[in-house]
A = this chain, B = another copy of it.
Amino acid sequence: MKRALLLVDHGSRREEARAVLDSVAAFVRERSGLIVHAAHLEAAPPTIAEGFEACVRDGAEEVLVHPYFLMPGRHAALDIPARVREAAGRHPGVSWRVTVPLGFHEKIAEVVLERIQQQQEVPCAI
């Protein structure tokens, strides 16, 4: 069965924020060999429906959706599955499931240590 991965983050009006998900998609595509598309829950296109559609257009028979969120909050547990269900309704032959979000992982906590060691200050406009 041909599978695709749809990565879904929160979405932002800031281009540098959206670029993060594109980098993750490129990395995961390279490592997994899967069809990988990215979408945003809100604030910017592509929407989840558009991302799902892109997976189907690439021939996916199953779409695995990963909520690219740090926490198992409302967005990952409810909002994303609801939108995916709606999008999938337009593609009856395609199965789908939603994975757990990132959650706690030592690798992510190690990135905190790297960031505080770098001690880069955020450009602060206030």
Are A27's CB and B106's CB within 8 A? Answer: yes
The number of times this chain is found in the oligomer is: 2
Residue A1 at the B interface, CB < 8 A? no
Q: Top 7 nearest A-B pairs by Cβ distance?
A: A17-B71, A107-B107, A27-B109, A12-B73, A17-B73, A23-B104, A20-B104
Q: Can you show 24 pairs from A to B with CB atoms below 8 A apart?
A: A7-B112, A9-B71, A12-B71, A12-B73, A18-B71, A20-B72, A23-B104, A23-B109, A24-B108, A31-B113, A32-B113, A66-B116, A67-B122, A70-B70, A77-B122, A77-B124, A78-B126, A97-B121, A99-B115, A100-B118, A100-B122, A105-B114, A107-B108, A107-B110
